[in-house]
Amino acid sequence: MSRCKQNVHMDTENAINKHINLELYTAYIYLVMESYVKRDDVALLGFAVLFNKKMKEHHLAVSKLIDYQVQRGCIASFDNIEKPVTQQWANVMEIMEEALALEKEVNESLLDLSELGKEHGDSHLVAFLGEDFLKKQSMSIYTISQCVTKLKRCSGKGLIVTLVDMELEHHSNPHLFSQSIITPQ
């Protein structure tokens, strides 16, 4: 047993490991999404930039959680990562709705983890999640929601897809939507 382990409940340690696997799964799905939109018959490079960024964010979250486990004297353990069920989509709207559902699932897991930390009196975990994860996750949901809203304006087809894709590609920062050329007046 680690000498630095203190006030960490086994349920909390296991829940963090479960969340690590969810983050890995999410990164895996974003990798699949990125490879799909990069195909020559889809050719949405701006969305590829977005999905690559999201994949890296979730990998970074995994690294931070593993470091946290180690610093608290816990053991990071890993399970198998399921192959994504969907690897092709009918349109970009489907992809973005799946991305939004993923981000909400990650957020729900973080909220559950924070609540578990509160139940077990683990103020370190609650503070760590609040500072490093919950705010960023909320922004992720907001950003993808904006994209979905823009796509829904034209049923996720046609010129709006091209405009959103160009915006993502040129800015490579999806948080710049508020200054977008396609934001309604």
pLDDT digits (tens, 9 = 90+) for 104-157: 999 999 999 999 999 999 999 999 999 889 999 999 999 999 989 988 887 666
What fold characterizes domain 10-179?
Ferritin (1.20.1260)
137 is in an annotated binding site: yes
Max Cα-Cα span within the chain: 61
Q: Is pLDDT of 171 > 80?
A: no
Residue position matching structure tokens 């829904």: 152
169 is in an annotated binding site: no
Residue 50: which residues within 8 A CB-CB, separation 6 or more?
147, 168, 174
45-71 and 92-119 helices, crossing angle to 10°: 20
pLDDT above 90 as % of the chain:
71
Q: Is residue 34 part of an annotated ligand binding site? A: no
- Locate the domains of the chain by residue range: 10-179
The structure tokens listed for 29 are 């799905």
